Structure 1
Amino acid sequence: MYLHYSAISDVGRVRRENQDSGYAGPWLLTVCDGVGGAVRGDLASSTAVQALRKLDQEPDDDILGQLAGAVHRADDRIAELVEEDPALNGTSTTATVALFDGTRFGVGHIGDSRAYLYRRGELRQLTHDHTFVQSLIDEGRITEEQSRTHPHRNLILKALDGIRHEEPDLFEFPAEVGDRVFLCSDGACGTLTHDRMAEILGTGTPDFAAVELVRASLEAGSTDNVTCIVADVSEEAPPEDLAPLLVGAAADLPRRLPLGGGVGGLFRGHRSGDTGEIPPVPDDVPAGAYVADPIDPEAVRYAPRDPGRYSWLRRLLIALVLLGVAWVVLAAGWSWSQQQFYVAEEDGRITIFRGIDARLPGISLSHAYETTDVELTRLSDIDAEQVREGIEADDLEDARLTVDNYAARQDVD
C-alpha cells in the first residue's frame, strides 16, 4: 500500500511567527510544535523535524525501535544547540511521528500535538496528550469540553528539550486501504471539536481536507499556529510529482496556496477571497487619480493665522482639560487594576495578588490578597517556575481555582 499525503502550516491570525514545523513523505508523517513562550520554539521544532525526516525511507521490521532512536536523536540535537548557545536554554518542542512500512504504522509521540485515524467513517484519537489538563481529564476532575477553556490548558508536562530526555509513547497499528491518518498541532485539535474534524476528514482529497482543517481552525477562533497533515492509504501508487512536503518553521520557503491569504498567514481572508489588502491601481488609470494633489508645504507655512487675542486663556483651558482627562484616566485605570487578580509567589508560598503584575518606579500596582499554605518546595520544578513567573486570572474565583489545582498536585510531583 502507498500514502497519498498533504501538509499545510499557517502562522494564524495572532502569532507573529510560526513555531510549528511539519513533514510529509511516502514513509513518514510528523508534526512538531515549538512550545509557546519558550526560547526559540521555532528553532526547536525545525531542528526536530530536520532530524526526524531522515526516517523517510522504507523501515525495517523494528519500526518502533527506529522511531525511538529518531526521537532521541532529535532530542540530542536540541541539546547540542543549547550547549553551543546557552541563550537557547528553555527551548523545546512537541513531536508526533507516524512511520509507514506499506502494511502498518508505527507512532511515536511526546507533547500535545496529536495523531488521529479516520477509518470507515469513524474518527479515533491515537495519541494521548502529555498535558496538565489531560491529567485532570484522566482523573475525572474535568471534561474534554472544560479542558478547552481551562486556564492551564497550554501547560505541557513532556517535550523534547535536550535536558530531561523524556521517553516517547510508542505503538503501532495495521493499515487498511481507505484509512485516512491525520496529524496536527494543538492549534487545530485545541479548537475544532471531534465531530467537526470527522466531518472535514470525510470529504475530498488529502490536500482539500488539510486546507479545510486549517481554515476551519482559524475560523473557529484559533489563536495559535495551525499545522495539519492528512494522508490516505491506497493500493494505487501516488502521482510521480508528489514530492515530500516540508512546512512551517522548518521550510526554507512557505508553501504558497491559491487561496488569497493576507500578510503573515494563508487564511486571514474570508472564504470569498477578501484579504483586506489595498487593491492595486489598474494600469489604465492615470497617475494621481486616486489621491489629491500634494499641498505645497511653503503655502502651508505661510498661510494666514488666527490673531493671538486671548491665546493665553485658550492655552490655560486646554491645559486644565488635559489635566482633567489625565486624572480621569488614571482613576479609571487604578479602579480597573484593583479588580484584577493573579497568582504568584511570596515568601515561598503560592499567593493570590490583587492588582496587575507590573511595577512602576516607586509605585506598586498590586498587593498580596490571600496567602495560601501551598509551598513552592513541594511543587515540581515546572509548576514552581510557572508560579514564580506569575499566572494571570480572570477573577478571584479563577485565581482560587488555580491555587486549588496546584494544591492538588503538590504531593504528586
Structure 2
Amino acid sequence: MFLHYSAISDVGRVRRENQDSGYAGPWLLTVCDGVGGAVRGDLASSTAVQALRKLDQQPDEDLLGQVAGAVHRADDRIAEIVEEDPALNGTSTTATVVLFDGNRFGVGHIGDSRAYLYRRGELRQLTHDHTFVQSLIDEGRITEEQSRTHPHRNLILKALDGIRHEEPDLFEFPAEAGDRVFVCSDGACGTLSDGQMLDILSTGTPDFAAVELVRASLEAGSTDNVTCIVADVAEEAPGEDLQPLLVGAAADLPRRMPLAGAVGGLFRGHRSGDTGEIPPVPGEDVPAGAFAADPLDPEAVRYAPRPPGRYGWLRRIMVAAVLLGLTWIVLAAGWSWSQQQFYVGDQDGRVTIFRGIDADLPGISLSHAYEVTDVDLERLSDIDAETVREGIEADDLDDARLTVDNYAARQDVEAG
C-alpha cells in the first residue's frame, strides 16, 4: 500500500515566528513543535526534523528500532548544537514520528504533538501527551475539556532537549486501505474538539483536510503555530507530482507557495469558500513582493535579531513610576484602614485605648495611645491584668470604651 499525503504549517495569528516543523514523505510523517518559552524553539524543531527526515526510505523489519534510533539521533543533534553554542541551552522540541512500511505503522512519540487514526468512520487518538494537564486527566482530577483552558496546559514533562535523553513512547499498528492518519502540533489538537476533527477528516482529499484543519484551528481561536499532516493509505500509488513536503521552521524553500507546500494547484475549503494562497506576512524590514525575487530567505528575516526600541530608558522610568505609585496607593489604603481600628491595652500600668492595630513592623509602630484611662492594672486581678497586657480587640471606639468600663467596674469591686 501507499501513502497519499499533504502537509501545512501556519505561523498563526498571534506568534511572530513559527516554532513548528513538519515533514511528510512516502514513508514518513513527523511533526516537531519547539517548546514555547524555550531558547530558539524553532531551531530545536527544525534540527529534529532534519535528522528525522532521513527515515524517509523503505524501512526494514525492525520498524520501531528505526524510529527509536532516529529520535535518539535527533536528540543527540540538539545536544551538539547546544554544545557548539551554550546560549542555546534550554532549547527543546516535541516529536511525533509515524513510519510506514507499506503494511503497518511504527510510531515514536515524545511531548504533546499528536497522531490520530481515522478508520471506518471513527477517530482515535494514538499518542498520549507528556504534559502536566494530561497527568491530571489520567488521575481524574480534570476533564479533557477543562484541560484546554487550564493555566498550565502548556507545561511539557518530556521533550527532546539534548540533556535528559528521554525515551519516546513506541508502538506499531497494522495499516488498512482507507485509513487516514493525522499528525499535528498542539496548535490544532489543543483548540479543536474530537468532533470537529472527525467532521473535517471524514471528507475530502488530504490536501483539503489539511487546509481545513488549519483554517478551523485559527478560526476557533488558536494562539499557537498550527501544523497539520494528513495521509491516506491507498492501494494505488500517488502521482509523480507528489513530492516530500518540508514545512514550518524546517522549510528549505521560500515560503510563498500554496498552503501545504505541495507541487500543484491551490487547496480549497468547503465551509468558508476558497482558502487559496496565504502568503506570509513580510518582516518589518522586508518590502512587500520581495519573496518572489529576493534570494534572501524570508525565514532568516523572520528570525533575525531586531534593533532595540527607542527610548527604552524612558519606558523603564515610566514603569518604575507606575509601580511606585501603585505601592504608595496600597500602603496609603492600608494605613487608612489601620487608623479606623481600636484595641485596649496597657500603657505605663494604665488601661489604655489604642488607635491602630496591635502589631508592629521593624522601625514602624502601627498604633498609638488614643485614650489613657484611670483604670490601674495593679488594682485588677492578675488574670484581668494579663489579658489587658496581651491586648483586647475592639470592633470600634465605642466597643473599646465599653471594655474599659467593664474593667473600671472590676477595679471598684477589687478595691471594695
Q: Is contact 1:247–1:255 with CA below 8 Å preserved after alignment?
A: no
Q: Provide, for residues 211-230 of structure 1, a one-character-per-residue CA deviation record: whole Å limited to 9, x for no partner.
A: 00000000000000000000
Following TM superposition, by how much is the alpha carbon of 1:273 offset from its aligned partner in structure 2, in angstroms?
A: 6.8
- Taking a change above 3 Å as real, the CA distance of residues 248 and 273 of structure 1, as seen in their structure-2 partners, is closer
Deviation at 1:256, TM superposition (A): 1.8
What SS class does the counterpart of residue 21 from structure 2 fall into? Answer: strand
Task: Give the superposition deviation at 1:257.
Answer: 2.2
Q: Is the 8 A contact 1:11 1:18 kept in 2?
A: yes
| Aligned 8 A contact 2:211 2:259 in 1 | no
Give, in whole Å, the separation in 2 of the partners of 1:32 and 1:240: 27
Spell out the pairing of 1:127-206 with structure 2 (5 A cutoff): 127-206=127-206
Distance 1:94 1:118 in 2: 22
Alpha-carbon contact 1:18-1:248 (below 8 Å) kept: yes
Per the TM alignment, residue 271 of structure 1 is displaced from its structure 2 partner at its CA by 5.3
Give secondary structure in 2 for the equivalent of 1:229.
strand
Matched, 1:4 2:4: yes
* Shift in Å, 1:9: 0.1
Instruction: Confirm or deny: 8 A CA contact 1:27 1:58 kept in the other structure.
Output: yes
- CA change 1:127–1:207 in 2 (3 A) is same
2:255 aligned residue: 254
Q: Which amino acid aligns with 1:104?
A: R
User: Equivalent residue for 1:334?
Assistant: 326
User: SS in structure 2 opposite 1:8?
Assistant: strand
Q: Any idea what SS the aligned residue of 2:79 has?
A: helix
* SS of equivalent residue, structure 1 residue 107: strand
Instruction: Return the alpha-carbon distance in structure 2 between the equivalents of residues 243 and 68 of structure 1.
Output: 25
Tell me the CA shift for residue 235 of structure 1. Answer: 0.2
2:109 alignment partner, SS class: strand
The aligned counterpart of 2:83 is 83
- The 2-side partners of 1:26 and 1:238 are apart by 9
Alignment match, 1:67: 67
Instruction: Give the match's secondary structure for 1:200.
Output: helix
Indicate if the aligned counterparts of 2:118 and 2:181 stay in contact, CA closer than 8 A: yes
Secondary structure at the aligned position of 2:149 is classed as coil
Q: Whole-Å Cα distance in 2 between the matches of residues 272 and 65 of structure 1?
A: 43
The alpha-carbon deviation at position 161 of structure 1 amounts to 0.0
CA distance in structure 2 between the aligned counterparts of 1:125 and 1:5, rounded to whole angstroms: 19
| Residue matched to 1:233 | 233
Amino acid at match of 1:169: D
Question: Structure 1 residues 80, 199: CA separation in 2 closer, same or farther (over 3 Å shift)?
Answer: same
CA distance in 2, matches of 1:258, 1:19: 17
Over the matched positions of the two proteins, sequence identity in percent amounts to 84
Distance in 1 (alpha carbons) for counterparts of 2:224 and 2:174:
33
State the match for 1:360 in structure 2.
Answer: none
In the comparison of the two structures, how many residue pairs are matched?
Answer: 280
**Deviation of the 1:7 alpha carbon:** 0.2
Amino acid at match of 1:155: L
The unaligned stretches of length 5 or more in structure 2 are 261-266, 282-287, 289-317, 331-416
Contact 2:114 2:128 in 1 (8 A): yes
State the alpha-carbon separation in 1 of the partners of residues 259 and 136 from structure 2: 42
Distance 2:259 2:75 in 1: 36
In 2: Cα distance, 1:258 partner to 1:94 partner: 23
Structure 1, unpaired ranges of 5+:
260-265, 281-325, 339-413
8 Å CA contact retained: 1:12, 1:222: yes
2:187·2:222 contact (CA, 8 Å) conserved in 1?
yes
Give the corresponding residue for 2:57: 57
Relative to structure 1, is the Cα distance of residues 245 and 137 closer, same or farther in structure 2, using a 3 angstrom cutoff? Answer: same
Question: What's the TM-score, normalizing by structure 1?
Answer: 0.64
Tell me the residue number matched to 1:402.
none
Aligned: 1:112 with 2:140: no
Contact 1:97/1:107 (8 A) holds in 2: yes
Counterparts of 1:258 and 1:227 in 2: how far apart (Å)?
11
Question: Equivalent residue of 2:326, what SS?
Answer: helix
- Deviating beyond 3 angstroms after TM superposition, the runs of 4 or more aligned structure 1 residues are 270-275
Change (3 A) 1:98 1:223: same
Deviation at 1:254, TM superposition (A): 2.2
Counterpart residue identity of residue 25, structure 2: G
Distance 1:53 1:111 in 2: 18
| Cα distance change on mapping 1:135 and 1:273 into 2, 3 Å | closer
SS of the equivalent of 2:32 reads strand
CA contact (8 A) 1:33 1:185 kept: yes
The corresponding residue for 1:102 is 102
Q: Which has the larger radius of gyration?
A: 2
1:205/1:110 CA distance change after superposition, 3 Å? same
- Describe the shift of the 1:200–1:84 C-alpha distance in structure 2 as closer, same or farther (beyond 3 A): same
Work out the CA distance in 2 between the residues paired with 1:51 and 1:7: 18
Query: TM (normalized to structure 2)?
Result: 0.64
Would you say the 8 A contact 2:115–2:127 is kept in 1?
yes
Per-residue CA shift, 1:247-277, capped at 9, x if unaligned?
0000022262279xxxxxx99xx857799x9
Q: CA deviation at 1:108?
A: 0.2
Q: 2: distance between equivalents of 1:256 and 1:221?
A: 24
Backbone CA RMSD of aligned residues: 2.7
CA deviation profile, 1:270-319 (whole Å, cap 9, x unmatched): 857799x9xx9xxxxxxxxxxxxxxxxxxxxxxxxxxxxxxxxxxxxxxx
- The amino acid of 2:40's aligned partner reads R
Q: CA 1:330 to 1:161, structure 2 compared with 1: closer, same or farther past 3 Å? A: closer
Q: How far apart are the structure 2 equivalents of 1:213 and 1:116? A: 13
Q: Which moved more, 1:250-259 or 1:203-212?
A: 250-259
Letter in 1 for 2:103: T
* 1:305 matched residue in structure 2: none
- 2:402 alignment counterpart: none
Write the mapping of 1:31-50 to structure 2, written as runs, cut at 5 A: 31-50=31-50
Aligned CA distance change for structure 1 residues 245 and 87 (closer, same or farther; 3 Å): same
